[in-house]
Amino acid sequence: MRVAVVHPFSWPDVRRGGERYAHDLTGWLAGHGHQVDYLTGGPAHSIDVVDGVRMVRLHHRHGDRLTSRGITKLDSFGVTVAPWLLRHRYDVVHSFVPTAAIAARLARHRVVYTAIGHPIEIGRVRPADRRLFRAAVRAAHVTTVLSASAAAAASELTRRDVIVVPPGVRTDIFTPELRPRTGPIRLLFAAAAGEPRKRLPVLLAALPAVLAVQPDTRLIVGGGGGLPDGLDPKVRNAIDHAGAGDLHEMPQRYRDATVTVLPSVDEAFGLVLVESLACGTPVVASDSGGMAEIVTAEVGELVPPDDSAALANAILAVAASAAAPDTPRRCAEHAATWSWDSVGPRHLAAYDQARA
């Protein structure tokens, strides 16, 4: 099958879940014999073959004038990619942004559109995003979302059927450490520290209660971004601000942690949770969005959003369970649900549906 995967940004130039998802998908498709073009943006036009995937970087013109008018790079990439889609033919175009999905349909391709974020967020900042999202869903032959929670919100917004196709985890990279997590608690926050939706301040508010019981606890803050000002010195002294770090560091960060904590709200999925589980480390997350479909009592706990007291209690409970000999194995086995061997064929099924 000849497939174009379309995203204006590429991994690891931009290190977010959507870019990781698109990158790993193209690798899985190429590894299973499909011809894959990854159509992405760049400062100049270039074509390279990387691990069997043809990386097509299109000159993405997006000046300050567009930004000042509230037009994002996601909005303008449809115009950037349209000439290429008119000149080249694919069995399926799989777009991760609405404007490119619309452009692909106008170019008479069979289109799969994946909504990366949780649809409940659409329109909160820009009301026009709801119209753009609805137009992309109408244009696509198949729309996929990352969780049942996202599917319910998307169907309510569009009155159209969507299907759940989650991203995968690279279980060949995120391999488990099967030793129990004993000793001082090491908490890992592996999301963007400065993004409000990730709720790092809620975790910081929970930390004093954890330190009162386990005073040797350390919080490792990764994912990039700074810490808020005005932290209590006791809290600040318990934090190791590791930053995003090198790509190769992440699996070991998960393995070294006692618990990975993601107190976000409205996550469509929560890939860092699955990565942590694949490495054998249990998790604590908010009972919000798609995260509730990942975390079970066997591998972690869910807490009400923005409840720092409940978060502290869950962290202590899951840290205690992390010391049990069979916890890492349970985590790794649960993460296999989202291995690419499991979710890759679901993408092919969506492509077949779009071509039917």
State whether the Cα torsion 234-239-240-242 is positive or negative.
Answer: negative
Alpha-carbon gap, residue 98 to 154, rounded angstroms: 13
Q: What is the dihedral of CA 291, 295, 301, 304, to 10 degrees?
A: 20
How far apart CA 117 and CA 119 sit, in angstroms, is 6
The dihedral over CA atoms of 340, 346, 352, 353, expressed in degrees to the nearest 10, equals -150
Instruction: Return the H-helix or E-strand segment holding 55.
Output: strand 53-59
Kindly give, in sequence order, each residue whose CB lies less than 8 Å from that of residue 183, ignoring residues fewer than 6 positions away: none
Report the pLDDT value the prediction gives residue 63, as an integer from 0 to 100.
63
This prediction's pTM: 0.93
Q: Is the distance from CB of 6 to CB of 96 less than 8 angstroms? A: yes
Residue with tokens 């699955």: 274
pLDDT digits (tens, 9 = 90+) for 31-87: 999 999 999 998 889 999 999 999 999 998 766 666 666 667 778 899 999 999 999
Residue 122: its H or E element: none
pLDDT tens digit sequence for 290-336: 999 999 999 999 999 999 999 999 999 999 999 999 999 999 999 99
Residue 264 and residue 284 in contact, taking contact as beta carbons nearer than 8 Å = no
Q: What domains can you pick out in the chain, each with its CATH number?
A: 2-168+339-355 (3.40.50.2000), 186-338 (3.40.50.2000)
Mean pLDDT per block of 10 residues along the chain (356 residues) reads 96 87 97 97 92 94 67 83 97 97 98 92 76 94 97 92 96 96 96 90 96 96 80 89 76 96 95 97 96 97 97 98 97 98 98 97
Asked if residue 7 lies in contact with residue 22, where contact means CB atoms within 8 angstroms, the answer is yes
Contact between residue 222 and residue 239 where contact means Cβ atoms under 8 Å apart: no
pLDDT of residue 123: 63
Instruction: Quote the strand ranges of 210-340, DSSP E.
Output: 218-222, 239-243, 259-262, 283-286, 300-303
Question: Does residue 243 sit in helix, strand or coil?
Answer: strand
